[in-house]
Structure 1
Amino acid sequence: MTQETDGRPRVVAEAKTWAGTRYHSCADVKGAGADCAMLLVRAFVDSGLLAPFDPRPYPEDWHLHRSEERYLSYVTDRFVETERPLPGDIAVFRYGRCYSHGALVTKVDPLTIIHAFQPAGCVIEEPLAANLALADPKRPRRFFTLWPRAFE
């Protein structure tokens, strides 16, 4: 695994190269289509921080019909939960019956994320507070890091 000081900016830079890529479920082709899960996979794999893996296939609406924490399990297999997210960490949000949307933290103040967001139709970077659906206090969210910090 790459050092934290090198890895964080590298994964953020890679994710930003996807900005403007249209939203397309199960896709991971920069400039053509991506969803939130595959954006995170590509950002971490293509920056050399994770070994290649592919969570597909998955139905576009699986999170509406099942309570299985499928998305979250891919995250917790590779990352550890953190209370203080930093750039390069992952935010996951509960949609439907389980956690099923993810984003990459790009900035802390204000907390800014990049994600493939279906309502926006593409990969966008935005302050979390500007996204009323995700910033809603009733929507549970959790943060995860590849670089665990002692005594958090």
Structure 2
Amino acid sequence: MSGRSDIVAQARAWIGTPYHHRAARLGAGADCLGLIRGIWCAHYGTEPEPLPPYSPSWAEASGDEQLWQALARHLLPAPVAEDGQVLLFRLQSRALAKHLGIQCAGGARFIHACPRAGVVEAPLSAPWARRIVARFAFPSSL
């Protein structure tokens, strides 16, 4: 991968893509994981592993942190915030971490997919920022 700015540019190309659960097709439909999968495939060519079933609910309160574990298998932990990183959010205190976005604009904004809006760039406001539980970077090569 050539750099963080390429990740942000790729994510911005998805803006306007409608929301569709489990989808990852630029311009046709994506959920938040589909956005990350689409960026991955644009840079590495293929999916890193088969996609397990998952529900669209951000409020699931039980089970394993499957999304977090999958991210940790394929991406690099990122202790310092930088643009182009994958942000993992826990949207409710007792729920699983199930929302993703790409940090951009010097950490002031992020790109993500929402059910009503599709893929958008939005402010990384305090309510969003305090829900970040992990940051990951795409590997430079496979």
Please report the TM-score for the alignment, with normalisation by the length of structure 1.
0.76
Say whether residues 1:90 and 2:82 are aligned partners.
no
1:134 corresponds in structure 2 to 128
1:107 corresponds in structure 2 to 105
Aligned partners of 1:86, 1:140: CA distance in 2, in Å?
A: 13
1:144 corresponds in structure 2 to 136
The answer to whether the 8 A contact 1:93-1:99 is kept is: yes
Distance 1:62 1:114, change over 3 A: closer
Alignment of 1:66-85 (within 5 A): 66-85=62-81
Distance 1:24 1:107, change over 3 A: same
Residue 65 of structure 1 and its aligned partner are, at CA, apart by: 4.9
Residue 43 of structure 1 and its aligned partner are, at CA, apart by: 0.8
The percent of aligned pairs where both chains have the same amino acid is 26
1:52 corresponds in structure 2 to 47
The AA in structure 1 aligned to 2:113 is A
The AA in structure 1 aligned to 2:119 is V
- Aligned partner (choices 6, 28, 43) of residue 10 of structure 1: 6
Residue 81 of structure 1 and its aligned partner are, at CA, apart by: 2.2
1:117 corresponds in structure 2 to 114
The AA in structure 2 aligned to 1:101 is H
Q: Structure 2: which 5+ residue stretches go unaligned? A: none
Question: SS in structure 2 opposite 1:15?
Answer: helix
Question: SS in structure 1 opposite 2:74?
Answer: coil
Aligned partners of 2:19, 2:127: CA distance in 1, in Å?
A: 17
Residue 140 of structure 1 and its aligned partner are, at CA, apart by: 4.6
Q: Structure 1: which 5+ residue stretches go unaligned? A: none
The AA in structure 1 aligned to 2:134 is R
Q: Which runs of 4+ in 1 moved over 6 A?
A: none
Distance 1:9 1:78, change over 3 A: same
Please report the TM-score for the alignment, with normalisation by the length of structure 2.
0.81
Residues 25-81 of structure 1 deviation map (CA, whole Å, 9 limit, x = unaligned)? 111122221000010011122123x74234243222386153310111111111232
The alignment of Structure 1 onto Structure 2 pairs a total of residues equal to: 137
Q: Which structure exhibits the higher relative contact order, with contacts defined as CA atoms closer than 8 Å and separated by 6 or more residues? A: 2
